[in-house]
Chains A and B, each alone.
Chain A
Amino acid sequence: MSYALQRFGQMLVIVIIALLAVFSTQRLAPGGPFDGERPPPPKILENLRAYYDMDLSMPAQFYTYLFGMAGREIGDNGKPGKAHWFVVPSNAEITTLGGTNDRSTAEGVFVRQFCPWDQWLGQVIPGAREQLREQGTVFRKCGVVRGDFGLSMARRSIYVNDYVRDGLPATLKYAIPSLLFALLLGVPMGFYAAYRQNKPADFFMITIGMFGTVVPNLVMAPLLIFLFAVQLDSVFHWLFVETLEWVELGRRQRTLNWIPSGKTGGVMHYVLPTLVLGTGLLGRIVRLSRAGALEALRSNYVRTARAKGLPAHVILLRHVFKPAILPVLTYMGPVTAFILTGSLVIERAFSLPGLGRQFIAAATDRDYTLLMGTTVILLLAIILLNFIVDLLYTWLDPRIRRGGGRS
Chain B
Amino acid sequence: MSTSQTPVLSIKDLFIEFETPDGAVKAVNGINLDLFKGEVLGIVGESGSGKSQSWMATLGLLAENATTSGEVTFDGENLLTLPPKALNPIRGNRIAMVFQDPMTSLNPYLTIETQMVEALRIHNKRMSKPDARKRCVEMLDRVAIPAADKRLKQFPHELSGGMRQRVMIALALLNDPEVLIADEPTTALDVTIQAEILDILLDLQRERGMAVVFITHDLGVVAEICSRVCVMYAGRLAEIGPVQDVFTDARHPYTLSLLKATPRAAQSQAAQSDDALYAIPGAPPNMRMPPPGCPFEPRCACADAHCREQVPALEPLQGSETRLKACFREGSSAALLEALVHER
**Are B92 and A402 in touch, CB under 8 angstroms?**
no
- For chain A, the count of residues having a C-beta within 8 Å of the partner chain is 27
Do B122 and A399 touch across chains, with their CB atoms under 8 A apart?
Answer: no
State which residues 219-239 of A face B: CB under 8 Å: none
- Does B155 belong to the interface (CB within 8 Å)? yes
Contacts of B87 in A (CB 8 A): 309
Segment touching B, from A9-17, A276-284, A299-307, A360-368: A299-307
Q: Are B90 and A309 in contact (CB under 8 A)?
A: yes
Interface, chain A (partner B; CB < 8 A): 197, 298-312, 314, 318-319, 322-323, 396-399, 402-403
Q: How far is the CA of A204 from the CA of B325 in the complex (A)?
A: 51
A306 x B91 contact (CB < 8 A) = yes
Shortest Cβ distance from residue B45 to the other chain A in the assembled complex, whole angstroms:
21
Query: B: which residues have CB within 8 A of A?
Result: 59-61, 63-64, 84, 87-93, 96-97, 99, 101, 104-111, 114-115, 118-119, 122-123, 155, 157-158, 168, 171
Contact yes or no, B122 A309, CB < 8 A? yes
- Decide yes or no: A310 and B122 within 8 Å by CB, A301-B105, A303-B105, A319-B107 being known contacts: yes
Contacts of A398 in B (CB 8 A): 108-109, 111, 155, 157
A308 touches B92 (CB 8 A): yes
What number of A-B contacts does a CB cutoff of 8 Å give?
86
Instruction: Please tell me if the beta carbons of B157 and A314 are within 8 angstroms of each other in the complex.
Output: no
Q: Are A303 and B61 in contact (CB under 8 A)?
A: yes
- 6 closest A-B pairs by beta carbon, nearest first, are A309-B91, A308-B92, A301-B107, A309-B92, A300-B104, A398-B155
Known contacts A298-B63, A308-B92, then 5 further A-B pairs from the complex at CB < 8 Å, ordered by chain A residue: A301-B105, A301-B106, A301-B107, A301-B108, A306-B61
Q: In chain A, what residue has the closest Cβ to B93?
A: A309
Residue contacts A-B, CB under 8 angstroms, 15 given? A197-B64, A300-B99, A306-B59, A306-B61, A307-B61, A307-B99, A308-B92, A308-B119, A309-B91, A310-B92, A310-B118, A311-B122, A318-B114, A396-B109, A399-B155
- Cα distance A302–B109 when bound, in Å? 12
Residue in chain A with minimal CB distance to B95: A307
**CB-based nearest B residue for A298:** B63
The residues of B that contact A308 with a CB separation of less than 8 Å are 91-92, 118-119, 122, 171
Is the beta-carbon distance between A300 and B101 smaller than 8 angstroms?
yes
Q: Which residues of B contact A302 (CB under 8 A)?
A: 107
Q: How far is the CA of A319 from the CA of B118 in the complex (A)?
A: 11
> Which B residues touch A309, using CB under 8 A?
87-93, 119, 122-123
Nearest opposing residue in chain A for B157, CB measure:
A399
> Of A298, A303, A322, which contacts B99 at CB under 8 A?
A303
